[in-house]
Each structure stands twice: as structure tokens, then as C-alpha cells.
Chain A
Amino acid sequence: MTETVTKSPAEKLPEFIERFKDDVVAIADYRGDLCIDVRKDRLPEMIRFLKETLQFNMLMDLFGMDYAKYGNGLSGVAVIYNLYSMPTRRRVRLRVFLGEERPEIRSICDLFAAANWFEREAFDLFGVTFTSHPNLTRILCHHDFEGHALLKEYPADHYQRLKSAIPSTEI
């Protein structure tokens, strides 16, 4: 690993923090994982900066998270971006809270090919709308499924009857 544990969280990615200081809400370094909470408006720009300037060339993971019952001062749906830099071997996690009402954020499909399915999954399971996504449809659940299964308000023991068993011919 290129970084040392003695550094404070803000020192780990100084270029990023400096450039986006107005949009960085919090920086956490928990058990060696750097996690930065950011506002959603400039997110594509941040990801582009991380990718093109700081060499974070891999989108390892992108997923939704519902903080509705989390407590500890957090609430609402968030999207978490897990980036990895092959050349510098660094990792960073960006967390974006999308507010209480309709969760919506701009897609990053134009920056990472990997984002396509990951964003579809977050849409399917959390109802996050990724604007300008080329094909924002359900991916894991059936296309007739109602609601979003991983939201805390969706009961874990709730079953839905399939309206038709006919699969879609065009997928």
C-alpha cells in the first residue's frame, strides 16, 4: 500500500478535498477505508476528476443504501461509489445522500462502462433514478415487480404474485 495509516483522512486525497471543498460534507477514515460524503450536484465532475487526474481508473462497485432506519443522524437513500486506482493502488469511497423525496442523480455511464449494470441494480433495488442512463430498467427483479426490494420500508417477508408468466421477448 502506498499510504500510511498515520495520515489524517483529509491528507489522504488533498487534491480532491481542496478542489471540491464546498461540496465535501464529511471525511471519514474508518478501519483504513477512506469514505467521503459529498453533495450530489457536482458528482459526475468529481468522478471525472478522480478518474482523469488522480488515476482512479476502476469503478469497483456502485450501490444504493437506505439509511431510513439507521439512526445516528443519517436518513434517506444514498448511493456509494467505490473507486480503485490501479497505478497508485489507492481506494476511495464516495457517498452521496439523495434526500428524502424522489432519489435522483446523474448517471456516470459515460465515465465508466461498469456503471451501467451497477446503476440499473441500484434503480431496481432502491428506486434511484440515474438521469441520462441509456437503459434504466430492472435487472435482478422481474419486470412486473412493484416497489424496490432493498428499501427498508419493503417488508422482507412480502411476496408478490406474478401477473403473467410470459417472459419479455425483447430484452
Chain B
Amino acid sequence: MMPEVEINNQLMRLNLGPSHPATHGTLRIFVKLDGEFVEEMKLEIGYLHRCFEKMSETHTWTQVIPFTDRLNYCSALMNNVGYVMAVEKLLGVTITKRCERIRVLLCELSRIVDHLVCIGTNAVDVGALSCFWYFFRERENIYDLFEAACGARLTTSYTRIGGLMSDLPDGWIDWCKKIVKQLPRTLDDVDGLLTHNRIWIERTKGVVKISKERAIDYGFTGPCLRACGVDYDIRKVHPYYDYDKFDFKVPIESEGDTYARYLVRMAEMRESLKIIDQALEDIPDGEVNISDWSIVLPPKEAVYNSIEGLMAHFKLIMQGIKTPVGEVYSYTEAANGELGFFVSSNGEGRPYRVRVRPPCFAIYQAFPEMCHRQTVSDVVAGLGSLNIVAGELDR
């Protein structure tokens, strides 16, 4: 303990962020320290608030899709899927099997990317730089796949209400198989570097812990909840897109600390690979879009050569999709946990309200409690493992 602290009997105040390298985004953490230990912590969020929900109300249903990319930008595709799924639920439409399968495939690739980023940067924060390079090489490869499918690496906007922007390009499946094949080796490499690494274990085991009961009380979902020993994965308990037909396990750890969250994410990536392998085996043939022209744009040939096609195209662009009066809540298992979209329509062509339930909003709230009597360096290690993405937190 520092002598001045004892003499003055005062706690030292320290401000981290909002633009601190370890916060990976604009988060402000304000701590009162007793020596090196956190006595009190306050959080300030909102630095990345871009009025997503307000903006959605002034755009058509389809125009909201690009905004969803900017929520959790580490796994934009999962936000795209989560949002369009909510609108499809409101419309009561069923998408094609091929579209479902492609969405599953891209969601699982996104989950892997998200976990790669999370573990990679978490390791950098505690001083292990090499894992970051191993992981980011794979991330770039997967981003190449996304780019080939939709033209963008980060801000994908690939889904459309009732389908996808376009079908996968020729040769994509084989390319994907090739890239996915390399992943286990990278995971083994990082596994070898971290899992039994004395320094990594000392820096993460028992650090920034939360109990099962508190995690549920705070509304934890996703890997952070499963690291506390709760078996809750929406893909298993409320399956969507035929997730119940895939053979995969839900990794569970019981400690609820940074190390447990690391183990869960590592295991989850291997499970996602299993799903991808099965999904790549038989992608159903057929169309990716439903054939209702009041929801999806007609094919270009129809727009240029028929009056019906032209009118459908014009009405959809100018007036948007007409949704029935009602409210629905739709939820998917995103990389961080339950990503929920509540959409409300009063029967006009625009959303009346789009509410997103970002998984890390609930998780980050528990951070001061988790950090009590931990050191400042533990705060940094713990923060990385919670995978707080400011875009999603502040919306």
C-alpha cells in the first residue's frame, strides 16, 4: 500500500478511458483505489450512442439493415440476421431452406470471428501478442469469404427481409471448406500457447468472477453466462433455423471467471466448426429469396420487362414493406448472448419502434460488482473477457 494513502486515509481516484487502449472502444471507467485494489467503480457509457432506435423510426424496414451492422461490428452478420428474423416474425413469413442454411453458415463464421477478436485482444491486454496475430490471420481469411459473398468485410448488410441480398457466388462453398479446414490448427496453436500457460492462468484464473445466481440476476446470456455453469444457449433451448438438427455441444464451465470465459469461447469455436462442417455438407438447392414481391424485390428481368415487376419494385423502394399492426420480440444466440429485437408496427411502411436488446448492456452492468477488490490490471483482463462492444452497448 502506498504510504500517502495511509497518511491521508484517502482513496486514489483513477480514470480509465473513454479512449483507453484497453477499453477497445469508448468506455469510461472511474475507479477509487485502495492501494492497487478497486474499492469502488463507476461506469459511464453512451460515448458511441448514435440513436439507432430513433433513426430506425424514420427509415423503411429495409433501410434499417445497414444500421444493424454498426451494433456489434465484430459480428455484423448476426445482427443482420437477428433483425430480419424479427421483421419476418412480424410479417409471418417463412424463408427458404437454402436461405436458412446460408444464414446459419454465416452466423457461425461470425461467431468464430467474434470469439477470435475477443480472445485475441484479451490476450494482448495481458501481454500475449502472438495469439492475436494467429487469430487475426484467420479472421482476415473469413472476412475474405464475407467480402466475396456480399462485397463488404465488416459492414455486411447481407440479409434482406425474406431472404438475402444475393446467393453465394460460384466456388464459395469450396473456398469456405478450405478456410475452415485451417482453423482447427490455429485453435490448437493458441490452445497450446494459452490454456496451460502459467502466466495466462495466473492472470485470468479467479479474476473478475461472478456467481451463477448474480449472473442470472443481472441478465447475463451467452458465453459469460455459460462460464458460470448455466446451460442456456438459444440454439439448443429455443432452436431456430434447424439448429436442433445439427450435432453440437454447448460448452459449460463453472468458475465464472476470466479463464472460464476463455475456455468457453475456445470450445464454442470448435463447436461452431462442427456446425459449419455439417451445414456445408448439404446446402439445399433452390431460391434464397421468397417469391412474394411485396416483401422482396423482384428479379431485375421482371423489373425491366414487365409492368408488374416494375410496379412492385417501385412500391417497395418508395413505400417500404407494409407490415401488419403488432409487436413481436425475436431473439437469437449472438456471439455475446441473447440478441433480441423488439419490433412494433402500426401498419405503415416504417417501423413504429425498433428496440434492440444488446447482450452486453446487461453484462457490463455487473462489472463494478465483479471488480470489487481486484487490481487495476485485473480490471483490464476482465473487461476484455466480457467482450463489451461499444457499438452494441450504446447503440
A→B interface (CB under 8 Å): 1, 30-31, 33, 35, 57-61, 63, 65-66, 69-72, 80, 82, 86, 89, 91, 93, 112-114, 116-118, 125, 138-142, 149-150, 154, 156, 167-168, 170-171
Tell me if B328 and A1 are in contact (CB < 8 A). no
Tell me if B58 and A150 are in contact (CB < 8 A). no
Is the C-beta of B190 less than 8 angstroms from some C-beta in chain A? Answer: no
Segment from B214-222, B254-262, B267-275, B300-308 that makes contact with A? B214-222
Is the C-beta of B237 less than 8 angstroms from some C-beta in chain A? Answer: yes
B→A interface (CB under 8 Å): 28, 30, 42-46, 49, 51, 53-55, 57-58, 89-90, 92, 214, 216-219, 230, 232, 237-238, 325-329, 338, 340, 342, 344, 346-347, 352-353, 355, 357, 361-362, 365-366, 394-395
Task: Tell me, rounded to whole Å, the shortest Cβ–Cβ distance linking B29 to chain A.
Answer: 9
Instruction: For B214, give the chain A residue with the smallest CB separation.
Output: A113
Tell me if B216 and A89 are in contact (CB < 8 A). no
Tell me if A89 and B238 are in contact (CB < 8 A). yes
Q: B361: which A residues are within 8 A, CB to CB?
A: 117-118
Instruction: For B42, give the chain A residue with the smallest CB separation.
Output: A171
Tell me if A113 and B57 are in contact (CB < 8 A). no
Task: Tell me, rounded to whole Å, the shortest Cβ–Cβ distance linking A36 to chain B.
Answer: 13
Contact among B30, B238, B325 for A171, CB-based, below 8 A = B30
Q: B346: which A residues are within 8 A, CB to CB?
A: 69-72
Tell me if B53 and A82 are in contact (CB < 8 A). no
Task: Tell me, rounded to whole Å, the shortest Cβ–Cβ distance linking A144 to chain B.
Answer: 12
A149 and B365 in contact (CB under 8 A), knowing A60-B338, A72-B325? no
Tell me if B46 and A139 are in contact (CB < 8 A). yes
B28, B53, B219, B329 — which one has the most chain A CB atoms within 10 A of its CB?
B219
Tell me if A65 and B353 are in contact (CB < 8 A). yes
Contact among A70, A138, A149, A170 for B51, CB-based, below 8 A = A149
A142 and B357 in contact (CB under 8 A), knowing A35-B327, A57-B216, A114-B219? no
Question: Would you list 21 pairs from A and B whose C-beta atoms are within 8 A, ordered by A residue?
Answer: A33-B327, A57-B216, A60-B338, A60-B357, A61-B329, A61-B340, A70-B352, A71-B347, A82-B329, A82-B357, A113-B214, A113-B219, A113-B365, A113-B366, A114-B218, A140-B45, A149-B51, A154-B54, A156-B57, A171-B30, A171-B43
Tell me if B219 and A59 are in contact (CB < 8 A). yes
Tell me if B219 and A58 are in contact (CB < 8 A). yes
A93 to B329, CA, bound (A): 9
Task: Tell me, rounded to whole Å, the shortest Cβ–Cβ distance linking A107 to chain B.
Answer: 15
A33 to B327, CA, bound (A): 9
Q: A72: which B residues are within 8 A, CB to CB?
A: 325, 346-347
Tell me if B326 and A117 are in contact (CB < 8 A). no
Tell me if B342 and A30 are in contact (CB < 8 A). no
Tell me if A86 and B46 are in contact (CB < 8 A). no
Instruction: For A80, give the chain B residue with the smallest CB separation.
Output: B342
Instruction: For B59, give the chain A residue with the smallest CB separation.
Output: A156
Task: Tell me, rounded to whole Å, the shortest Cβ–Cβ distance linking B20 to chain A.
Answer: 14
Instruction: For B238, give the chain A residue with the smallest CB separation.
Output: A1
Q: B30: which A residues are within 8 A, CB to CB?
A: 170-171
Instruction: For B239, give the chain A residue with the smallest CB separation.
Output: A1
Task: Tell me, rounded to whole Å, the shortest Cβ–Cβ distance linking B68 to chain A.
Answer: 17
Tell me if A86 and B219 are in contact (CB < 8 A). no
Task: Tell me, rounded to whole Å, the shortest Cβ–Cβ distance linking A9 to chain B.
Answer: 14
Given contacts A63-B357, A117-B365, 5 further A-B contacts (CB under 8 A): A60-B219, A113-B217, A138-B46, A140-B395, A141-B49
Task: Tell me, rounded to whole Å, the shortest Cβ–Cβ distance linking B371 to chain A.
Answer: 15
Contact among A35, A140, A168 for B49, CB-based, below 8 A = A140
Task: Tell me, rounded to whole Å, the shortest Cβ–Cβ distance linking A6 to chain B.
Answer: 17
Tell me if B54 and A150 are in contact (CB < 8 A). yes
Q: B43: which A residues are within 8 A, CB to CB?
A: 171
Tell me if A116 and B365 are in contact (CB < 8 A). yes
Q: A82: which B residues are within 8 A, CB to CB?
A: 329, 340, 342, 357
A31, A35, A69 — which one has the most chain B CB atoms within 10 A of its CB?
A31
A66 to B44, CA, bound (A): 26
Instruction: For B353, give the chain A residue with the smallest CB separation.
Output: A65
Tell me if B217 and A112 are in contact (CB < 8 A). yes
Q: B45: which A residues are within 8 A, CB to CB?
A: 139-140
A156 to B58, CA, bound (A): 8
A167 to B394, CA, bound (A): 17
Q: A59: which B residues are within 8 A, CB to CB?
A: 219
A72 to B345, CA, bound (A): 11
Instruction: For B219, give the chain A residue with the smallest CB separation.
Output: A114
Tell me if B54 and A149 are in contact (CB < 8 A). yes
Tell me if A63 and B55 are in contact (CB < 8 A). no
Task: Tell me, rounded to whole Å, the shortest Cβ–Cβ distance linking B359 to chain A.
Answer: 10
Task: Tell me, rounded to whole Å, the shortest Cβ–Cβ distance linking A21 to chain B.
Answer: 23
Tell me if B340 and A60 are in contact (CB < 8 A). yes
A168 to B54, CA, bound (A): 26
Tell me if A140 and B394 are in contact (CB < 8 A). yes
Q: A66: which B residues are within 8 A, CB to CB?
A: 353
Nearest first, the 4 A-B pairs at minimum CB distance are: A114-B219, A140-B46, A61-B357, A140-B49
Tell me if A171 and B365 are in contact (CB < 8 A). no
Q: B352: which A residues are within 8 A, CB to CB?
A: 69-70
